[in-house]
Chain A
Amino acid sequence: MSFSDSALRNIPGTPLFDADQARKGYGLNQFCMSLVNPVNRERFLADPGAYLAGWPMNEAQRQAVLARDLNRCIAEGGNIFFLVKWGATLGCSVQQMVASMTGMTESEYRQMMLRGGRSIEGNRHPGEDGDAQPHHQPQGSAAGVGF
């Protein structure tokens, strides 16, 4: 049971990291956070499967990590501030990781940001017609879901 107010929950394209998600994603997030230690970064890069096996994660989380599918990682309880430590270990920028959640290529996303970012219009409430609404996904020409 989570105590976050419901107005926070129904915002299109906007996951909420509450106590339920934190419980679900504990092992996944702690795996990510372990990578701030350079020794752990080396161990992970040398054998990702073996390193992951040492963390309490379910199969869906392991598959999401192996696929580098951030939307799936977040659905499984991951939080971006933890996930970016894993991305940093792989040499990937925050922008590259964030772009991958939109279906845009990194270049398409960067251009959107240079034009002033994503507009709020049509993206406040379910049922509107903005580019973050479910019926407009994916938003660009990214080849797959991984970053």
Chain B
Amino acid sequence: MAHISASVYTSHVPAIGAAIDQGRTQEPYWHALFEGYEFSRRWMARHTPDVVVLVYNDHATAFGLDLIPTFAIGCAASFAPADEGWGARPVPRVIGHPALASHIAHRVIQDDFDLTLVNRMDVDHGLTVPLSLMCGQPAAWPCCVIPIAVNVIQYPVPSGLRCWRLGQAIRQAVLSFGENLDVQVWGTGGMSHQLQGARAGLINSAWDNAFLDRLIAEPEALARLPHADYVREAGSEAIELVMWLMARAAMGDAVPRVAHRFYHVPASNTAVGHLILEGT
């Protein structure tokens, strides 16, 4: 049967992707940030899963205002890196896992969750930047990826608790899949940042690090944090952090081992947070 061996959490700032693509990761501005992911690249090479279930938000790339799914699962055989206005990132096509994705969709929908099924979409920096951070610049990504896109662009955004419970349902779905696959679940986005209005540039390191502490030790309580707390304390765009709860829930009840923890300010407008949790 499939199993979930680890979860990874990381910011997905587009400027990080641009720095990688342009060969600028050793510049003074970027050096310390990428140093924090060197462990992660080595870890990923040693612990390469068969499939990553990658929770992210689309940024008005695949989904505009015509169609706004709260939760969408990518069931396609592959996904193209998106053109977000600068041309598509020069990264490999993302290979999906239709069999596991369809199985997850089937089990989760029958568990009374509502997922939108996506058979074709491009994937933007929200998905490809975490892959680049963890895998470098390979000719092909080392594993399959099942995209799970969450609406955090237009309110109402799903609650932390809803993301938590969906993560639990995804865990049960993966554990019931007949093939012996090694699966990781990644939660991406955040951490504190605000890109709009007079309060743009907000960073709240104390709040971010308390979030990391609680995500590790008391995630179900953290899942009850209201949206207003994220937005007031950590910026309007910090609402992306609800997605980290989905990945954390997929780890189950056992206390995970913290393999890596990293925090760095700034990456463009954003505080970068990163965790690797291994199942015990």
Contacts and interface: CB of A to CB of B under 8 A. Distances in A.
B201 interface: yes
B266 A117 contact: yes
Contact of A15 (B153, B156, B236): B236
A85 B64 contact: no
B200 A8 contact: no
Contacts of A15: 196-197, 236
A95 interface: yes
A27 to B, nearest CB: 10
B268 interface: yes
A124 B232 contact: yes
A136 to B, nearest CB: 8
Given A79-B60, A123-B202, A17 B153 contact: yes
A146 interface: no
B138 interface: no
Interface in B115-155: 153-155
A36 B84 contact: yes
B111 interface: no
B60 A102 contact: no
Most A Cβ at <10 Å: residue of B61, B86, B156? B86
A82 B84 CA distance: 10
A32 B64 CA distance: 10
Contacts of B85: 35-36, 41, 84-89
Interface residues of A, number: 62
B204 A3 contact: no
B83 interface: yes
Nearest to A87: B85
Contact of A113 (B155, B201, B204): B201
Interface in B236-280: 236, 265-266, 268-269, 271
Most B Cβ at <10 Å: residue of A3, A11, A36? A36
A57 to B, nearest CB: 13
Contacts of A85: 60, 84-85
B153 A98 contact: no
A5 B231 contact: no
A17 B155 contact: yes
Given A16-B236, A17-B155, A120-B204, A33 B199 contact: no
A57 B267 CA distance: 34
Given A5-B227, A8-B231, A95 B268 contact: yes
Interface string B177-213: 0000000000000001011111111111101000000
Ranked nearest first, the 4 interchain pairs of A and B with the lowest CB-CB distance are A117-B203, A88-B85, A13-B198, A13-B199
